[in-house]
A = this chain, B = another copy of it.
């Protein structure tokens, strides 16, 4: 770990990418517990010491990987996710819902142990995004509390939906969820969504 690496250095980007994709490939073969740091570095063709310059250990890599995947999921759907629009909020909720489902279906049984990790990362990402949105709106109150409330609301609604026996259509569900969340982001016009 030592001092921080320069994120803009091409070398750093390269090795990080190599580590990430090697890890992804390994996860498709084995379960997480049986993956060693050596496995990752061998497949990535990088030195083992270099790994530790980027990640504290393989758990930090897992964290980062989950975070990355969710972020990509958002960015693939939203043109400019950096400011609030009702449409962006829709997409955010929708993304969280689908991410939940994907975990329940496409992932192997053995990977469900990471549910709490995933929850933490998703909430973190959502919270950060909502903070950005709120701070760009000129509101008198602080942004932290509305962001927290909205984050938990979104995650809770998504969990509820993904766990439902026979889920309603996603689009329709999100339409109903939207005003419940937006109310925290529109303090000036709470009912008009």
Contact = CB atoms under 8 A, between A and B. Distances in A.
Nearest to A47: B10
Contacts of A170: none
A165 interface: no
A46 interface: yes
Interface string A45-64: 11100000000000000000
A10 B10 CA distance: 16
Contacts of A46: 10
Interface residues of A, number: 6
A13 B46 CA distance: 11
A4 interface: no
A14 interface: yes
A47 B9 CA distance: 10
A40 to B, nearest CB: 14
A11 to B, nearest CB: 8
A67 B182 CA distance: 63
Nearest to A11: B11
Contacts of A10: 45-47
Interface in A2-40: 10, 13-14
A10 B13 CA distance: 16
Nearest to A50: B10
6 contacts: A10-B45, A10-B46, A10-B47, A13-B45, A14-B14, A14-B45
